[in-house]
Amino acid sequence: MTEATPTYDEFSLFHENAAEAGLPFDGPPVVRREFLEVAPGRRVSALVWGAAPPELVLIHGGGQNAHTWDTVALALGRPLVAVDLPGHGHSDWPQDSAWLDPATMADDVALVIAQLAPDAAAVVGMSLGGATSIVLATRHPELVRRLLLVDITPGVNGDKTSDIAAFLSGPETFATFDEILQRTIEFNPSRSESSLRRGVLHNSVQLPDGTWAWRHQVGRPTVDTGLHVERADFQSLWDALESIGVPVLLARGSRSPVVDDDDVAEFRRRRPHDEVVVVDDSGHSIQGDKPLELAAIIEDFVGSP
């Protein structure tokens, strides 16, 4: 029996997010996709939630996309912007191999925030998006009034991200949608199949030959050898993190290997007046494992609208 090709409308799945999280759903939220040119012929995309000026900027991790924040955004109910990092989601690839460099990404993201959310009360950055946000806060401080790091510190290294690297280093294409979904289920045993299917729909694309690929694989420059998280070395960002002149909060997943006790100790040494929150029973992607808890942390950190 031939597998039916799944239909996809990126704005038609929010009711599933709400139902799974137990959130009320009175109808589709106001969300639009924007594309902004950050260099000649190269655009970065973002989802803009709500019609009012955005109060938050959300930046995802490596291999993810802006839809990773959907349930968090529904729970918050605030106007916000969720950015697709360069080379991810609907954003174009840079034309060199420096795409994993947070400094390069931060300048692109800064252009997006300056146009879409210049007065946002806080930036929330997860994993690679968090590293990018650290650079953003130091190079473009006028755009970052508070910074929430989701399960990331400059102490990240290849050993801590080996599981992530193993997942992202898989096949470049898959014969069917079910194959790409099954690989995702294999690496995310604690998540529901429905949530993972939704995530794969947002993060994959069917190619002209009928095979499937991750969005971050499509159009990847040939000069690059791939999305290798194990190469990430953010140790130099400790000094940058220490220099940030606004409040910084670190949210750590209790089951995540990416932020360990030594990282927390170094964070506290560098920023003794800032807070660390542990999210129980969460892995690295707190926004996927515990979205309501993360939304509450964001609310507490940012305060009333």
Domain with residue 277: its CATH number is 3.40.50.1820
* 101 inside domain: yes
∠ CA 241-245-251, nearest 5°, is 50
Closest CA to 264 of 243, 249, 283: 249
Element spanning 75, H or E: helix 70-76
Number of structural domains (the chain) is 1
* 224 inside domain: no
Options 84, 92, 151, 263, the catalytic residue = 151
* 179, 212 contact by CB (below 8 A): yes
Farthest CA pair distance, the chain: 60
* 210 inside domain: no
Q: What pLDDT score was predicted for residue 197?
A: 96
User: What would you report as the CA-atom Rg of the chain, rounded to the nearest whole angstrom?
Assistant: 18
Q: What pLDDT score was predicted for residue 97?
A: 52
Structure tokens at 263: 């990282």
Q: What pLDDT score was predicted for residue 146?
A: 98
* 207 inside domain: no
- Written as one string, the DSSP assignment of 128-179 is HHHHHHHHHHHH-GGG-S-EEEES--TT--TTTTHHHHHHHTS-S-BSSHHH
* 182 inside domain: no
Q: What pLDDT score was predicted for residue 223?
A: 44
Cα–chain-centroid distance for residue 139?
Answer: 20
Q: What pLDDT score was predicted for residue 169?
A: 80
Q: What pLDDT score was predicted for residue 49?
A: 98
Catalytic residue check, 190: no
Structural domain of residue 22, as residue ranges? 14-158+231-302
For every one of its 305 residues, what pLDDT tens digit does the chain have, with 9 covering 90 and above?
Answer: 345 678 899 999 999 999 999 999 999 999 999 999 999 999 999 999 999 999 999 999 999 999 999 999 999 999 999 999 999 999 998 876 555 688 889 999 999 999 999 999 999 999 999 999 999 999 999 999 999 999 999 998 878 888 887 888 888 899 999 999 999 999 988 889 999 999 999 999 999 999 999 998 887 775 444 444 445 568 889 999 999 999 999 999 999 999 999 999 999 999 999 999 999 999 999 999 999 999 999 999 998 66
* 103 inside domain: yes
Options 67, 202, 216, 284, the catalytic residue = 284
Q: What pLDDT score was predicted for residue 232?
A: 58
Catalytic residue check, 127: yes
* 7 inside domain: no
* 128 inside domain: yes
Closest CA to 148 of 118, 132, 126: 126
Q: What is the pTM of this model?
A: 0.94
Give the C-alpha distances (Å, rounded to integers) separating 176 from 172, 192, 216: 12, 20, 17
